[in-house]
Amino acid sequence: MATRRVVTGLADDGTARVVSDGPAPCVLTDERAPGYETVHLWATDDVPAVPGDGADPTHSGQAFFPGPKGSRFFVNVFPPGMGTAPPDGPASPERIFMHVTRTVDYGIVLHGELTLVLDSGEEVTLRAGDTVVQNGTMHGWRNASAAPATVAFVVLGAEEAAP
């Protein structure tokens, strides 16, 4: 998915400038799910300082999820059929890519339809314009529709809750 990214920063004279305008610097795919993409738009590994000069901290070798003070901004494309059951049986947790992270994730569905699957068995179908706040719980995604689903995520690193 071609995604244009515009980044601002301060010029030497202290005025705001566009310092970058072009394609996202990093696009990841997953061979287990043909058509799946993660387009990394911005990443921090520490609390950012502003105003900044627009220097790009995003690179292909970074950890997918941030540490406690970091953040990630990316867009995911979930292909049709991702996380659905194979023709001969039910979907397994591995097929849904169930996972848990130490992050708070803000997601907004930009296009299509996607189902949030929780380890409790609860499922919520999200459509274009719907949002989700994922609070570091076990979850996965299922696209049972015939079209790709596109979701933008802002992922914030978090500390683990005390028992």
| Collapsed DSSP state (helix, strand, coil) of residue 79 | coil
pLDDT, mean over the chain? 90
Structure confidence at residue 160 as a pLDDT band (50, 70, 90): confident
- Give Dmax over CA atoms of the chain in angstroms: 65
* Total-model pTM: 0.89
C-alpha to C-alpha distance for 9 and 18, rounded to whole angstroms: 6
- Contacts of residue 19, defined as CB under 8 A and 6 or more positions apart, other chains included, come to 7, 8, 9, 53, 54
Q: Is 39 exposed, middle or buried (0-12, 13-18, 19+ CB in 10 A)?
A: buried
Domains and CATH numbers, the chain: 27-157 (2.60.120.10)
| Collapsed DSSP state (helix, strand, coil) of residue 94 | helix
C-alpha to C-alpha distance for 61 and 44, rounded to whole angstroms: 13
Tens of pLDDT, residue by residue over 113-136, are: 999 999 898 999 999 999 999 999
